[in-house]
Each structure stands twice: as C-alpha cells, then as structure tokens.
Amino acid sequence: MAGLVNSVSWPLLLVAAYLVGSVPMPQILARINGVDLRTEGSGNIGAGNLTKTVGLPWGVAAAIFDGLKALIPVLVSRYVLHQGLGASGIAGLAAVVGHNWSIFMRGRSGRGLASSAGLLVGLDPVLVVWVAGWSVAGWKIGSGLAGFFGWALLPLTAIALGRPGPEVLFLVMLATVLLGRRMQGNSDAPPGVNNALRRALYDSDPIPDEYGTTADEASRS
C-alpha cells in the first residue's frame, strides 16, 4: 500500500512543485513597490534585479521564498515519500522549471538561481559551498561568468566528491535547465546562435553599438 501511495503522491508533488515554483514572488514584491521588473534594470524577474531596483530587504525576502519553494519539495520527497536522491532532486527541479518558465508570467520568468540553491540545501548542502564560492568570485570576474562556471561545472564537482551516479545525472539536468534559461534570455533578447552563446556565458546581450547596428537595423538593411 505504501508503494502505491508513493507512486501516486510523487507525480502530484511534481505538479504542486511546478505550480508553487511558478509564483513570481520577485515580481509580486516589485509590484507592491510600483515597479515592473520586466521593464526595469536587467529585465529579469528575479531576486537580483529586485534588489537593484527596489532594495536589498525586498530582494532577500524574494530569494528566501524562491529558495524555499524548491527546498520543500526535495524534503517532502526524501523524508515523507522516502524517494532517492535522483527522484527528490527532480521534485525540486520541477519548482526551478516553474520559476524559470512560469505559467503566471506567460512562460518566462527568472533564472532560477535562488531556487536551485534551495534545492541543493535539501539535496546536498556541501555543493552549496561550491556555488556560493563562485557567487563571491562574481564580485571580481562578473556575476554572469561566475554563474556559468559555478553551475556548469557542478556535475564535475559532484563527480570529484564521489557523489553517486543518480545525483550526478540529476545535476547535469539542473545545469542544463539553468543554462538553457540563460541562453533564452528575456523576451526582447536578440536572436541568433552567437547571442545565445553569449547569454550562456555572460548572461547578457551585446549593447546595440557593439556590433555597429542593432538587430532591428540589420533586419531592415
């Protein structure tokens, strides 16, 4: 009977995690302050942009909420449904996917960094040290580049630490989701493979004058 309950409960947990993950708390808090994150700062609906446009306390509040909405599904999966690391990680990943592609924001929201950090707290807290170290390094080399190395190299870090195969495989999935969202960019991101690769590496687009013309000017020429 317990196995039957878990076989039903875990898929329901995935759906619930996605829906809760889709709640755009940074945008909600920004709206309370009369700001639309889609048109302010970096245009990203995340705690970092909220901090820059509204203030640190609001950004911290959003980051905590975003972290909890991925942490809780992992804990429920591991300690209530007694699932393994891989299945529990996927439960948290559902919340990250919801955050990145929110149904409440027409399919595009934040970058999922705070949610992913919360996921790691529940799955493997030691790996949070690796990600946090790159976040600190971001002050020197740029947050976008540091974020790329921090998350893209996470599966290799897990292998070096001797983590089991299911966990490493899950971390590959997590890194793919995060980098895929970076490559997608905001709704007004210029198209093209080069721009997508730039976003993956730096999480930014070239300024209009960098290549002489804007995307709109090129399309009209």
Q: Where along the chain do its domains lie?
A: 2-207
pLDDT in tens, 26-44: 999 999 999 998 888 878 8
In angstroms, rounded to a whole number, what is the distance separating the alpha carbons of residues 187 and 204?
13
Give the DSSP letter of residue 79.
I
Question: Which tens digit of pLDDT belongs to each residue from 112-136?
Answer: 999 999 999 999 999 999 998 888 8
pLDDT of residue 187: 72
3-state secondary structure of 82: coil
Model pLDDT, residue 65: 95
> In Å, what is the CA distance from 197 to each residue of 24, 192, 217?
26, 9, 21
% of the chain residues with pLDDT over 70: 89
pLDDT tier at 213, thresholds 50, 70, 90: very low
Highest mean pLDDT, choosing among 6-15, 151-160, 182-191: 151-160
Q: What's the mean pLDDT in 60-69?
A: 95
The residue ranking higher by pLDDT, 200 or 175, is: 175
- The DSSP code for 161 is T
Query: b vs e for 28-49, b when ≥16 Cβ sit within 10 Å of the residue's Cβ?
Result: ebbeeeebebbeebebbbbbbb
User: Which CA distances in Å does 195 have to 185, 187, 215?
Assistant: 9, 13, 11
CB-neighbour burial class of residue 26 (10 A; exposed 0-12, middle 13-18, buried 19+): buried
Q: What pLDDT is recorded for position 207? A: 58
- The pLDDT confidence band at residue 13, using thresholds 50, 70 and 90, is very high
